[in-house]
Amino acid sequence: MSQQEKILVVNVNWLGDVIFSIPVFKSLRKNYPQASISCLAVPRVKEILECVPGIDEIIIYDEKERGRGPFAKIGLVRRLQQKNFDKVFLLHGSWSRALLMFLAGIPVRVGYQKEGRSRFLTHPVDPAGEGVHKADTYLNIVESFGVPVWDRTSELRVPDNARQEIVIILGENGIQDNERFVVVHTSGNWDLKRWPQKSWAELVKTLVTELKIKVVISEGPKELEWAKEVARLSQVDPLVLAGKTNLPQLMALLEKASLVISADSGPLHIASCVSRNVIGIYGPTMPLTTGPRGKANVQIFHKDVGCNRASCYHLACPDNDCMQAVTVNDVAEAAKNILSR
């Protein structure tokens, strides 16, 4: 095998899905140890990809901004042609990305055949089928090409400087380096996956008053007001770090926590890759297909309310019964058991 072999992976667009793609890179690195492995991805997932073992280069494709017009796409094709990739694995299912790889002249192009994409692929792959975990749908692409898979778990490398920075951030906010604490991530990327604010607030209050442990609320800057409201309702003054950490610092925070509690979200899946203990609260989405795939000790709550026996995308649901079916007592008791070990 030539040491100069070059492999490209066209990745998916969302943080949680990118984490599910990590075993693909592990498998490729195991089977092509001397190859150069690159990843084509959108800007929003660059920071997480920088923490994925096995990736040598990240190529940013800004499809919504600078990469939108035809000249930008021509520019990307030329960049890929100059890199002389030997093969590409398309985890992303779009027709346009398959076309771009075809135009770039990459000799071996492997991906799912759908929406007329087969004409642009040298190795079209049959769909993985219903009820398959997302990580396995991505792995199916490389397995169909003959790449063995030994490890289906995801892992991330936390940067050392982020570990040092989070110790400083916590210390400045009253949590010392040797103190135990719980991180709760209280929002979600769509409302249907959110546990009610009052439930989060009651849980935070229980953790602080009964378990005598400090609580950190971690959110992005867009969820600052949501996090502040949870903190206000809890009446116990948890530390709100919403919008105060970058992604590597968030990873370090989750790694350092004694327990992470979250609904189905990107931070839940990051936590499963770097933390010891994780509790996941699921409602409209299915743990079977989108459950955490890291090596953490994970406990999932998902109550059958009838309408969520398959993944539900009724975003205008007026009741959100599936999330409300998980009680504060359910989560608090699980937290107590984990933290008492």
Average pLDDT rounded to a whole number, residues 262-273: 95
Q: How many domains does the chain have?
A: 2
The pLDDT assigned to 129 comes to 82
- Domain end marker among 144, 175, 196: 144
Q: What is the CATH number of the domain that holds 328?
A: 3.40.50.2000
pTM of the predicted model as reported, rounded to 2 decimal places:
0.93
Domain final residue, candidates 97, 115, 144: 144
Of 23-27, 142-146, 229-233, 320-324, where does mean pLDDT reach its minimum? 320-324
Based on the fold, state whether residues 122 and 207 are members of the same structural domain: no
pLDDT of 67 reads: 58
Task: Give ∠ CA 57-11-101 in degrees, rounded to 5.
Answer: 85
pLDDT of residue 3 exceeding 80: no
pLDDT confidence bin for 52, thresholds 50/70/90: very high
- Are 89 and 168 within one domain? no
Residue 66 pLDDT more than 80?
no
> Which residue's entry shows tokens 């008053």?
209
223 lies in some domain: yes
Provide mean pLDDT across the span 209-222. 95
Each residue of 283-319: pLDDT tens digit? Answer: 999 999 999 999 999 999 999 998 888 888 887 787 7
Cα 218 to its chain centre, rounded Å, is 15
State the DSSP string of 251-311: HHHHHH-SEEEEESSHHHHHHHHH-SEEEEEESSS-HHHH---SSSEEEEEE---STTSS-
Which of 115-119, 176-180, 314-318 ranks highest by mean pLDDT? 176-180
| Shared domain check, 67 and 195 | no
Sequence-ordered strand ranges (E) for 61-204? 87-90, 108-112, 123-125, 181-185
Q: Which domain holds residue 97?
A: 6-144
Average pLDDT over residues 312-330: 89
Domain match, 182 and 331 both: yes
Average pLDDT value for residue range 79-103: 97
Band (260; pLDDT cuts 50, 70, 90) = very high
Q: From 112, 144, 176, give the residue that closes a domain.
A: 144
CA distance 174 to 193: 31
Specify the DSSP class assigned to residue 295: S
For residue 196, is it within any domain?
A: yes
Compute the mean pLDDT over every residue in the chain, rounded to the nearest whole number: 94
Residue 56: the pLDDT is: 97
Asked whether residue 203 falls in the same domain as residue 331, the answer is yes
Mean pLDDT of 180-184: 98
CA distance 161 to 218: 19
Is 80 exceeded by the pLDDT of residue 85?
yes
pLDDT at 170: 98
Overall average pLDDT of the 156-162 stretch: 97
Residue 212 has pLDDT above 60, yes or no: yes
Whether 154 is in a domain gets the answer no
Residue 155 covered by a domain: no
Regarding whether 170 and 130 lie in a shared domain, the answer is no
Position 65 confidence tier, pLDDT thresholds 50, 70, 90: low
Phi, psi of 112 (to 5 degrees): -70, 140
**Residue of 45, 3, 2 lying closest to 22 (CA atoms):** 45
| Domain match, 201 and 332 both | yes
Residue 2's pLDDT is what?
A: 45
